[in-house]
Amino acid sequence: MKLTFLGTSAGRPTKARNVTSIALSLPEPQHGFWLFDVGEGTQHRLLGSKLKLNKLERIFITHLHGDHIYGLPGLLTSRSYFEGAVPLTIYGPPGIRTFIDCVFHQSGVHLGYELEIIEVEAGHVFSDSYFTVEAAELVHRMQCFGYRIIEHSQPGKLNLPLLKSLGVPSGPLYGKLKQGEDVTLASGETIRSSDVVGPPVNGRIVTILGDTSPCDNVLVLAKDADLLVHEGTFSGGMEEKAYAYGHSTVLQAAKAASEAKVKQLVMTHFSSRFDDEAIEQLVLDAKEIFEHSAAAYDYGEFCIHR
């Protein structure tokens, strides 16, 4: 699993940073990716990455401020030009359907693929064989969600040398054993799954927050996450201004990461007042509270290891 940041600026783009969008590349055997927010210019940023629009499977929108959704109509329209585009599902706050329907109606768009729009509420959002996604409301100037992506635990590895020594033929029996089933060989001998399969591999947790002031749901969503994406719009000492606009400082982000016991904090959504040198100092300030803090940058990649 890997996060690629396609936009890391707050409110408006700068020469170095586009507005918000984050891509989550899924692990094998899956080969697609999901997007979290689609700020204006996101499809241009995608052109500079290895990500292809026909592999985009799901889009999660945190809230309806323009720097998080103005790139959505163009991206959805361009996706029709890609052969083999799989069906696409968009998840977002109430109002996301009206926004898309209005733009498409007025501009006469006809998509060449199946599009589903789901307006989310707090709680369970989505699940399949590999992941569960949960949402909770944050504190911002409009309804805004954060998302918690939970990878399901996977069966442990087969002990191949032991299987060979026990005379278990490769093929369907291997699959049954890996899924926890005991099998009986032609000789009548029973092979127990627990004897030949290692312990389950724990799934990873990624938390991606929308814009927010500090609140309890930040900690709920981020608890024990392998990676937390938290906005750092303002510097320490600007807490009053941050609160007035429904945002957080980098110090508040670091405090949340520490309290939630996450493994890694990646801060994004930086005010355009900060250049790269200033952001380096913001990270140093955050590290005083939470050592494993980093700043996102456009095209920055962060791997989520087991």
Annotated binding site: 63, 65, 67-68, 140, 211, 269
Contact 285, 236 (CB under 8 A): yes
Query: What mean pLDDT is reported for the chain?
Result: 95
* pLDDT bracket for residue 155 (50, 70, 90): confident
Residue 8 has pLDDT above 90, yes or no: yes
Return the minimum-mean-pLDDT range out of 120-124, 133-137, 193-197. Answer: 193-197
* 27 token code pair: 């692990």
Q: Mean pLDDT, to the nearest integer, of 271-280? A: 95
Question: How far is C-alpha 121 from the geometric centre of its chain's CA atoms?
Answer: 18
Contact 52, 79 (CB under 8 A): no
* pLDDT bracket for residue 161 (50, 70, 90): very high
pLDDT score of 79: 94
Q: Mean pLDDT, to the nearest integer, of 171-176? A: 89
pLDDT, one tens digit per residue, over 72-109 is 999 999 999 988 888 999 999 999 999 999 999 999 99
pLDDT, one tens digit per residue, over 177-231 is 988 899 999 888 999 999 999 888 889 999 999 999 999 999 999 999 999 999 9
pLDDT score of 154: 83
Annotated binding site for Zn(2+): 63, 65, 67-68, 140, 211, 269
Which domains are delineated in the chain? 2-154+201-303 (3.60.15.10), 160-196 (no CATH)
pLDDT score of 201: 85
Residues with catalytic annotation?
67
pLDDT score of 186: 87
